[in-house]
A and B are shown apart, each in its own frame.
With several copies, the nearest count.
Chain A
Amino acid sequence: MKLVKAIIKPFKLEEVKEALSEIGVEGMTVTEVKGFGRQKGHTEIYRGSEYTVDFLPKVMVDVAVGEDIVGKVVEAIKSAAKTGKIGDGKIFVIPIEEAVRIRTDESGEGAI
């Protein structure tokens, strides 16, 4: 199994969720994060002094999936999250050695 970790633009979350549902992914976990990267932050002003906000709001989507569909999942996220503009984000694939569904004690791919 793999953990597909995608960092995307917040307003793309809805579309990514739908894209994943379509290919049968039934679950995901979403985290509010701040991103730093090529896409530079904007400068704000407060009481006359300027300052730059380097970290931009992003959303991190964690999806655990079976080996077989990893490719499809990455594809789905990629096409759903893409705007073509800088700051679209990244997808990382990380190995999962074991998975458990708390409610049922199921483990392995069945747990996802």
Chain B
Amino acid sequence: MIKKIAKSRWALPLTALLLIAAFSPAFGQEASDVVEAVEAVVTAAEPDEDFLALQTQYGVTFDFFTVSNLWTLIAAALVFIMHLGFATLEAGLTQSKNTVNILFKNVFVISMGLLTYAAYGFNGMYPGDFNGFFAVGSPITSADYGNTDFSYGGTGLCMTGWSDFIFQAMFAATAATIISGAVAERIKLPSFMVVGTVVVGLLYPISGSWKWGGGWLDGMGFYDFAGSSLVHAFGGFAALAAVMVLGPRKGKYLSGGRIKPILGHSMPLATIGVFLLFLGWFGFNGGSVLSAAPEAVSLVFVTTALAAAAGALSSILVSWTVIKKPDLSMALNGLLAGLVGITAGADSMGPWAAVLVGAIAGVIVVFAILFFDKIKIDDPVGAISVHGVCGIWGTVAAGIFGGYNVLTQIIGTLSVSVFAFVTTFVLCVIVKATMGLRVSEDEEAEGLDIGEHGQEAYPDFQVASKG
């Protein structure tokens, strides 16, 4: 995904790269083709003043700009709905006594995420020219955000600054949402709010700037189309850190390595969540084309959908053979794994490569979930496996099937993951030491809904105690 960097001198080559990638018919492609194509586009792209004039004469902007801008906004709305997807998925996979708390956290995260990103994150992540490692953020202003003559983003970016911002802002909150699921049912509300705010407001924009802001990872040719690393691996490893500091839910891991699963309270809610995430992903990946370029957007829709389908089927197959049962929650995680997996290279490979990438992600996620449970990392919704592990896989897969340097891809995804893990770990340790991270044992047993909110999610229904 190429954002404000479009402003920099890399704009055209990268745009070209993007378009080429979209055309790339099959699994890989020669670097040479790319280079030529870059030339091609660079020369082709000199704007013809006459035509621009002709158009603007109607108070109408360059139509391709208008369409692309509109698509980016619609994509932002689709990414927004992913937050409802996360909210219902997390609520469905946790106990009914903690449902109000989960929902509250999700309402908070999207709201906080939008505001912090406007106040600091956006300009910290897209600073224009900077040292490549860190830039201080600043609030968005109205200056030139509304311009429609490319003066905001350069010819590479067919959208207004407003559209660029809102699309990016919807992404930002995702990081904290991923954590929210993993730490569910035991984290103190105020502590979560602090952690979430720091992660979204300060940390996410830093590693984001390394690539999408035109930082050092971008400089070395690292590729992450829509964020397998920058969004998902980041969120997944931040979640891992938080879970490690927080510890597992009481009663999950029994003596002698026995595991007593803590069941989610509503499979329909979980399924609604996954379908909404699937829907939103069309905006997440499709919108990351950053224009309505037909070939790119349509290819991305196809690879995204096929990878998701392959992920669901392969995880069904694996869980059926390994666990002996067609486990719905595994199928749901497999579908998401496929989506996370394709995100880094959705524009860079053909449909059957996408199927392969998704299918492998679906296999990985099942074993990852079993693995983390074995080492007592308690992740109620599987966020670490789905977003963290498959985020790394997706970034590597983009290298393998998308024709990018695999080593560079590995370096990139690891540096982002490690950054997310370390910083979040330190953050959680500090919060734990100062305000405390975990609710009391009694509150955990009684549920956070009563404890933190004094509310019940389903007051009309008779609840069953686990035998």
Contact = CB atoms under 8 A, between A and B. Distances in A.
Contacts of A14: 466-467
A63 to B, nearest CB: 15
Interface string A44-77: 1111110101110101000000000000000000
B263 interface: yes
Given A42-B454, A43-B454, A48 B370 contact: yes
Contacts of A11: 445, 465
B260 A45 contact: no
A32 interface: yes
A32 B465 contact: yes
Given A11-B465, A32-B465, A45 B327 contact: yes
Contacts of A51: 260-261
B467 A45 contact: no
Interface string B313-344: 00000010011110101100000000000000
A14 B467 CA distance: 6
Given A11-B465, A32-B463, A47 B329 contact: yes
B369 A45 contact: no
Contacts of A17: 467
B454 A44 contact: yes
B261 A46 contact: yes
Contacts of B370: 48
Contact of A46 (B263, B322, B445, B465): B263
A49 B445 contact: no
A100 interface: no
B463 A45 contact: no
A13 interface: yes
B456 A44 contact: yes
A40 interface: no
Interface residues of B, number: 29
A48 B319 contact: yes
A11 B443 CA distance: 13
Interface in B358-415: 366, 369-370, 373, 382
Given A11-B445, A42-B450, A42-B454, A48 B330 contact: yes
Interface string B228-239: 000000000000
A45 to B, nearest CB: 5
Contacts of B264: 46
A86 to B, nearest CB: 13
B455 interface: yes
Q: Which 7 A-B residue pairings sit nearest by Cβ, starting from the closest?
A: A10-B465, A55-B467, A46-B261, A49-B259, A49-B261, A44-B454, A45-B454
Interface of B: 259-261, 263-264, 319, 322-325, 327, 329-330, 366, 369-370, 373, 382, 445, 450, 454-456, 462-467
Interface of A: 10-11, 13-14, 17, 30, 32, 34, 36, 42-49, 51, 53-55, 57, 59
14 contacts: A10-B465, A11-B445, A32-B463, A32-B465, A45-B323, A45-B455, A47-B330, A48-B322, A48-B323, A49-B259, A51-B260, A54-B467, A55-B467, A57-B463
Given A32-B464, A59-B465, 19 more contacts: A11-B445, A17-B467, A32-B462, A36-B467, A42-B450, A42-B454, A45-B325, A46-B327, A46-B329, A46-B455, A47-B369, A47-B373, A48-B323, A48-B366, A48-B369, A48-B373, A49-B260, A49-B261, A54-B467
